[in-house]
Structure formats: C-alpha cells, structure tokens
Structure 1
C-alpha cells in the first residue's frame, strides 16, 4: 500500500490507528541535502533508535544530521565521534539546548529528550578496565531503548573470584540479558555463559597484542566457545550488542506483561 492507500483505508475504517501508524512508519525518511537519509522512525518500527556513525563524517555534515534527527526523534545515538570533534559536538549540543548522555572512555553520545523505562534489565560486564569504552557504548544503546543497566567492570579471569558475586547480583536482579566485553583471549564470555540460564552476548574487544592482536584471538575464542547460550558480535561492536540485548530484554518484558 502506498501513502494515499494507507490514509484512505484508515478513513474508511479498514485498518486500525495502530496498523496505520506502523505502516506509515515505513515511509519516515528524513533527507538532509544530498548526503544523508535518516531513518527517523526506526525506534517506532524496530525498537532501536537511529544510530549515526560519525567516523569519517565532516563536522559540519554531522551537525546538520544531529539537528535534523533530534527534531524528529526522541532519542538518537552518535557513535565514534572523532576525538578532535568530540568537544566541538558537546559545545554545539549545549548551544542548541540538546540534552545529551555521555559514557566513560568513549566518544559515543546519546541525544535524548527523555529516557523512558520499559522495565527491561541488562547486565553489562567487562574483563578489564580497557574494555570499558565498548561497554559504555552498549549501555547508552540499552538506556536509549528503555532498559535499566547493571554494570560491573574489570572482573576478568585473571582474578576469576571477582566474577561470582557479580553473577549472583545479576541473577538476583533478574536481568533479561547479559553483555560481556573482553579482549585478550576473550574467555570471560564463555565463563559467564556457563554459569547462567540468561542469554549472553559476547563482545570481543580490540585489546590485545602480538599473535591474535586487535581482538582477533578474542573473537576466535568466543566463536569457538563450547558453552551454549552465547551469541557473539563483531570486534568492538558495543552498539550492536546493546541493541540485541535490549531487544531481548524488552521482548521478555512484553511477554511477562501480556494478559
């Protein structure tokens, strides 16, 4: 159905308002000059907010995209802002009265008018402090999608006794999914998934050196894991892990609250 057919069907009572809203969301694309087409209704359609990948984008173009997107959407993520541009974007946001949420050790930003809670819960763990930036990207995505995050960083297998109190807390909090970010050999994801009956998302980070450097060993280890219930995203893909885990959590909550 094209746009006219959707509106006519709604007017004639052939489809509901909810159905029309869903169908109309497929047409919501914001064109910005000749360099960008923004999916402003992605969150309505998929539950995942628009994510702007800032790396290699010109600063002026990025500013135009941010302004156009934040007008139409209640939450927008801007990932991997160039370090030289990060403070400029913060100043630009303040000047334009845009509400932002930041993360530790990351240049990813969340622009959100108001964070709404769905009731979903996601645990986010890192093997080391060097992995925190990737975990914070995941946290920002999860919070943009309405999930509460229970985070615990630097609990890798070099001191495996640190893991158990954290796992106990995540179970008691009844989290719906767990994200594990780990570099080096990436073993923490396998350990965590062997201890819980909760979906686990492994994120190999590019922390590491020598043979298997830049996350290659961590990725291979997670993919070869013999523990079930572990899914794996690409190296340093905190954004993708956050989107997947929050989708799982939100769907779980919807199932629990259905009559």
Structure 2
C-alpha cells in the first residue's frame, strides 16, 4: 500500500465512506502477507515509494502468478524482473492487461493513475549487446515515475558517437552507463558529466572479461569522480538507485517551493500544515 492509497483510505474513514471494520480488513496484511512460500512486503511502498518488485528467476510460474495476484490489489503498479515468457503467460492468466518486455525480461502490471514524472534519467549502453541490461534499468526507472531517454551503442570504440549525445547528457539528472568488455564507457561519461553516474558492468565479452568481472573492476577503479557501481548485469539495482536520487531531488525542490510560498503567505499557517501532512 502506497501513501496515496493509505491517505485516501483514512480520508474515507474520516468522511464515513468506509466503515472502520472494512478499513481494518484492508489493512490486515500490513506490513506483510505470508503466502507460505513467500513473505510479501506490503509496507514497502510506504517506506521506499514503490511496491516490492518480484524477482522471478528461480520461482515457479505458479509462484510468480500468485505473488502478482497478491501484490496487484488497489492502485499499485507491479514490476517483475528476470521473467520468462512462461512466467508472463501465468501472470497474464490472472491479469490480462499485463505487459511483457521481452528484451528486458520484465513483466509490468499497471494499476491506478500513472505516476507524475519526477526526474530525468539517461540510459547509455556501450554496445548493442548491452541493451537487455540497459532496458531492464529503463523499464524500472519508467514504472517508478521518471522521464527516461536512451543513448545506445555509444561505446569508446567510436567515441564520436558519444560526443554527439552531449545535449542528452546535460539534460539528465542521473546517468546510468551500461557496458561490458572492459567497461571504459563509465569513466569517459564520468569525465564529461557533473551528474551522478551509476555504472552497470555486463557479462558481455570474450573470455578474459570473466563474465563481467573485468568491466566491474574497471568501473570500480575509475579515476572519474561521481561514478558509483552496481553488480554485474544489475540494471534493476541501478534504476532503483537512480530513482532514489530523483525522488530526493523532488522532495528537496518541493520543500524549497513550500518555503518560498510560506514566506509569501500573510500568515503561513496553512502552508505549514500542508507541509506537515506531506512529511
């Protein structure tokens, strides 16, 4: 349950639109629900701003479908990662409007109003072979409520392709750089941009790349400032971190605007009340 859902429920109880007993029944699964094989964290949207994400790899198709069925109540949009086509078909049997992104291997079930876009995230990949990981990050960032732009196949082997993307680089609040082989793209972008860079090494490469270890070590040893690194092929983790940054920016900007409005208000009392309500 997200903040908007909980606020609406409390307003409905206050306005006698929902009985207290009915509200208690709705809240009975907070903070978690025991399915026997999984403990679903229904409280995560309140803490983190987005519901629990389903990591589908290693789960049976029936388990994936049952988890989606339990999570998709109310107005929550749910994301599943590392999903097979068979897992998607099982979810689609429960939610016919479910969408499968084959390249990124993600399942999305949209519920409620689309989130208000809060941040600009640029996805960059060194090569075409890195795009599946980049797309996992892109789909994740989008469903979490961000503007997402893509600049793919701009690796250092043809660096002029990267320099053509300087306007996009300047547009972004956060940049996610996805690269395999030697992983050099993250350092180059880090030398061009003043925004936070989240580097994602991929397992793409010949034998000495050691399934992404070479790119991981290269990114960890970057001399460019402002570059952080997530695990190999972890597009989701990069997007979740980028979303945390844009969410923090949104909150800080919102608080600053509230301060300005409050200072221009004759009494300021009402605005302070609004601010407290949004904490």
Q: Deviations over 1:26-69 (max 9, x none)?
A: 9421221x101111231221123311111111111111111111
**Higher RCO, 1 or 2 (CA under 8 Å, sep at least 6)?**
1
Q: Deviations over 1:53-86 (max 9, x none)?
A: 11111111111111111125612211112x4xx1
For residues 137 and 25 of structure 1, do their structure 2 counterparts lie closer, same or farther at Cα, with a shift above 3 Å needed?
farther
Q: How does 1:110-149 map to 2 (within 5 A)?
A: 110-113=108-111, 114-149=113-148
RMSD: 2.1
Moved over 6 A (4+): none
- Partner SS state of residue 101, structure 2: coil
Partner residue in 1 for 2:33: 30
* 8 Å contact kept, 1:104–1:132: no
Partner residue in 2 for 1:66: 68
Q: How does 1:98-113 map to 2 (within 5 A)?
A: 98-103=96-101, 105-113=103-111
Q: 1:250 aligns with which of 239, 247, 250?
A: 247
* 8 Å contact kept, 2:182–2:215: yes
For residues 221 and 120 of structure 1, do their structure 2 counterparts lie closer, same or farther at Cα, with a shift above 3 Å needed?
same
Q: How does 1:48-67 map to 2 (within 5 A)?
A: 48-67=50-69
**Pair 1:230-2:227 in alignment:** yes
Q: 2:188 aligns with which of 180, 186, 191?
A: 191
For residues 164 and 103 of structure 1, do their structure 2 counterparts lie closer, same or farther at Cα, with a shift above 3 Å needed?
farther
Partner residue in 1 for 2:177: 180
* 8 Å contact kept, 2:88–2:100: no
Long gaps (5+) in structure 1: 1-9, 11-23
* 8 Å contact kept, 1:76–1:112: yes
TM-score, L = length of structure 1: 0.82
Greater shift, 195-204 or 89-98, is seen at: 89-98
Structure 1 residue 105: Cα displacement: 1.7
